Structure 1
Amino acid sequence: MSFKDDTLTLTDKVSILRLVSIFSEVPAEVLADIAMVSTQHSLPAESIIINKGDMDFALYVVIHGKVKVHAGDHIFTTFSNNDYFGEYALIDSSPRSATVTTLEPTEVLRLDQTHFNQIIASNKKITQGILNGLIMRLRDYNVLQSELTKKGEEIKLQRDVLEKQRKELEVLNATKDKFFAIIAHDLRNPFSTVLGLSELLAREFENFDSDRLKEFINQIYKYSNNTFNLLENLLQWSMVQTGRMPLRPKVVDLFEVVMENIELLRGNATNKEISLIGPEEGEWFSYVDVNMITTVVRNLISNAIKFTEVGGFVKVKFEQDDRFVTVSVSDSGVGISAIDLSKLFKLDSNPTTIGTSQEKGTGLGLILCKEFVERNGGKVWVESILGEGTTFRFTAPRISSH
């Protein structure tokens, strides 16, 4: 570096050095001594002030102009009017870690480490002032660190919100895909069957005997009933997804809920010669939304009948402790494989299986069961061995009838 130019007055140099944080608390008369040994330099553009690896131990303050701190073509930062760099070189003798080059004609004020050390050795006030400046800088750093920590926490919260929204969008997309799959396949197929049978009956009614007519009518009833149950589940599911099904809990006799559903589904069980066994009568009271829990019980019993062979059994049982009533729906049916067990209650991977009498379903009923049970403060789970039957259990908050 060259082009030394001492056009600055001592007062000018003091003012410039005051911009350096470590000198902010140094008394003016002492800072004047430091200013006296500092030197002014005028440099053209593209002048190298410091080379990476240089043993250049000095502080620089940019009076006018602009410099870049870089390693090759990579620029770390730039400094312009009243910025400074290299203050640590006044007390550190490590090689320079980057190159500093002027970007335009630039004037700098340079304070050499050797001159600085000579002044410090003869004036304790400088040391005290520098320490005060360092303390003030440390305080500023702590404030900055606190602000950065706060900003970091805000960013984390925003990231958590975005992640939550991303997961919600994934669920919504899965919901949309499931919805369209149901509309496109599981509703279309039974309607097509019912329409086909109805058309055949209307066109060829006189050509069928009573047994054949009864078979067609039973088929129409079965498909219509299955489609109605699917539509009912689909309606409730859509209401849950859109927040149009508020929770309305009250004291409910679970025994009555179960027995009503057993009677409702007894015809399905009788058609397959399945024994439908209700729970023991007793005080099985819970504080739940009766419509939601009715849907849960109906779906679990209906599924048990669907996947039980002719001549099997479906049994509902109650247990309770101080906090919960546990409702169990067990069957002697086909069971569930370990792979399919892990997929149950999940919208994006919920398996669908054909019943023992070719009954079809979407698996949507179990999704509803989980949603409704958890909204009422309980949990639902399943235990099964392939070929040996299945037991679904769910809990509901217990309450005394008195």
Structure 2
Amino acid sequence: MRFENQKEQLIEKQNKAIAKQKTYVYFAIAALLIATLFLILIYRTNKLQKRYTKNLQAKQEILIQKEAELCESNRTKDKLFSIIAHDLKGPINSFHSLMKMSTSVSISKEQYISLMPKALSGIQGISELLNNLLIWAKTQMDGIVLEPKNIDLHDIAEQSISVLTTLAQKKEISIVNEVPENTISYSDKNHLDVILRNLIGNAIKFTNQKGEIHIKVEDKGDALQLEVVDNGVGMNVETQSNLFKTKYVKSAFGTNNENGSGLGLSICKEMVENNGGKIWVSSVQKEGTTIYFTVPKESNKIDAV
């Protein structure tokens, strides 16, 4: 009986020890679960923090880039308006002086007749500059609105040439339209008109007396490549590399001292690219310049005209 009592006490003691060990195990498991959950929360928090930090850095980089672009844009605009003010001041003052002199007896009819062509040339330059300035301002405020349709490039070239014929005749420059009839492009008609007028106008400015300008087109498979070719003064490599960049816009004078701000070429680049093309230049000093730009081919869309 004593042995049985000792046995029962031992069994009870062992059971209590086992129960105590189980309690420790349960506490350990609970602590492990809590620690695991804590570690998971820390991991997720760090992951979210890294993601938010990365997004914040990306947004910060975008803001820095936008700020740099805005500063560059402001510098470009300041420079542009400075050039415009300079280019407008000279011809307007000259025309004002001519008008003032014409009302006095100090100028003869022969002198007036000799001065008038120069004054008219200055006014023509002002008109062209203001037209480009209005187009540029509109694109800056509203963006370039694209209304593409099927148009005949031969007709567009003819219209641009007809507008600039008077300027070309003053320098006895011949402009040849080599674009075949019914060469159709799916582009914005107004944009193509502005592009060709600016390019042909520039070619006239920088071509000497009795020079030649040719408007050509080549089929490049997926696009049409238009070319405005002149045998004028040409340009150096540095001028070519900066030709279509607004921030490098600068005033330049043609072979007959015609005014030019370079703004028209920046407008051409924007409009060509918005029509899905690209523009570039090839030039040799004292031999001539060729401006190339591409436009989409004819579209078979139902709404194309």
- The residue that corresponds to 1:350 in the other structure is 249
Q: Is the contact made by 2:218 and 2:224 (CA closer than 8 Å) also made in structure 1?
A: yes
Within-5 A mapping of 1:140-159: 140-159=41-60
Aligned partner of 2:105 among 188, 204, 220: 204
CA distance in 2, matches of 1:201, 1:339: 44
CA distance in 2, matches of 1:245, 1:400: 21
- The residue that corresponds to 2:130 in the other structure is 231
TM-score by length of structure 1 reads 0.64
2:95 maps to 1:194 = yes
Matched to 1:178, the amino acid is: K
Within-5 A mapping of 1:372-387: 372-387=271-286
Aligned partner of 1:139 among 24, 31, 40: 40
Q: CA deviation at 1:383?
A: 1.0
CA distance in 1, matches of 2:239, 2:217: 26
Q: Is the contact made by 1:381 and 1:392 (CA closer than 8 Å) also made in structure 2?
A: yes
CA distance in 2, matches of 1:194, 1:284: 43
Within-5 A mapping of 1:3-402: 30=24, 131-204=32-105, 207-209=108-110, 212-243=111-142, 246-400=145-299
CA distance in 2, matches of 1:375, 1:168: 20
Q: SS at the partner of 1:203?
A: coil
Matched to 2:96, the amino acid is: L
CA distance in 2, matches of 1:178, 1:379: 26
CA distance in 2, matches of 1:377, 1:396: 7
Structure 1 residues 244, 200: CA separation in 2 closer, same or farther (over 3 Å shift)?
farther
CA distance in 1, matches of 2:197, 2:106: 36
- Structure 1: gaps of 5 or more residues: 1-26, 31-123
Q: Is the contact made by 1:344 and 1:351 (CA closer than 8 Å) also made in structure 2?
A: no
Q: Is the contact made by 2:217 and 2:227 (CA closer than 8 Å) also made in structure 1?
A: yes
Matched to 1:140, the amino acid is: L
CA distance in 1, matches of 2:80, 2:211: 33
Larger deviation, residues 349-358 vs 381-390: 349-358
Cα distance per residue 1:208-258 (max 9 Å; x no partner): 33xx33322212211111110001001111111111652222221111111
Q: Is the contact made by 2:187 and 2:295 (CA closer than 8 Å) also made in structure 1?
A: yes
CA distance in 2, matches of 1:201, 1:319: 51
Q: CA deviation at 1:398?
A: 1.0
Matched to 1:158, the amino acid is: K
- Structure 2: gaps of 5 or more residues: 1-20
Cα distance per residue 1:143-181 (max 9 Å; x no partner): 113311330232134224313421341243034303431
CA distance in 2, matches of 1:152, 1:307: 55
Q: Is the contact made by 2:272 and 2:278 (CA closer than 8 Å) also made in structure 1?
A: yes
Structure with the bigger percentage of helix: 2
Q: Is the contact made by 1:343 and 1:351 (CA closer than 8 Å) also made in structure 2?
A: no
CA distance in 2, matches of 1:300, 1:241: 21
The structure that has the greater radius of gyration is: 1
Larger deviation, residues 194-203 vs 291-300: 194-203
- Compare relative contact order (CA 8 Å, sep 6+) and give the higher one, 1 or 2: 2
CA distance in 1, matches of 2:77, 2:22: 73
CA distance in 1, matches of 2:81, 2:259: 17
CA distance in 2, matches of 1:240, 1:158: 27
CA distance in 2, matches of 1:141, 1:156: 22
TM-score by length of structure 2 reads 0.83
Structure 1 residues 316, 163: CA separation in 2 closer, same or farther (over 3 Å shift)?
same
CA distance in 2, matches of 1:388, 1:195: 37
Matched to 2:83, the amino acid is: I
CA distance in 2, matches of 1:166, 1:191: 37
Q: Is the contact made by 1:174 and 1:347 (CA closer than 8 Å) also made in structure 2?
A: no
Q: Is the contact made by 2:186 and 2:299 (CA closer than 8 Å) also made in structure 1?
A: no
- The residue that corresponds to 1:7 in the other structure is none
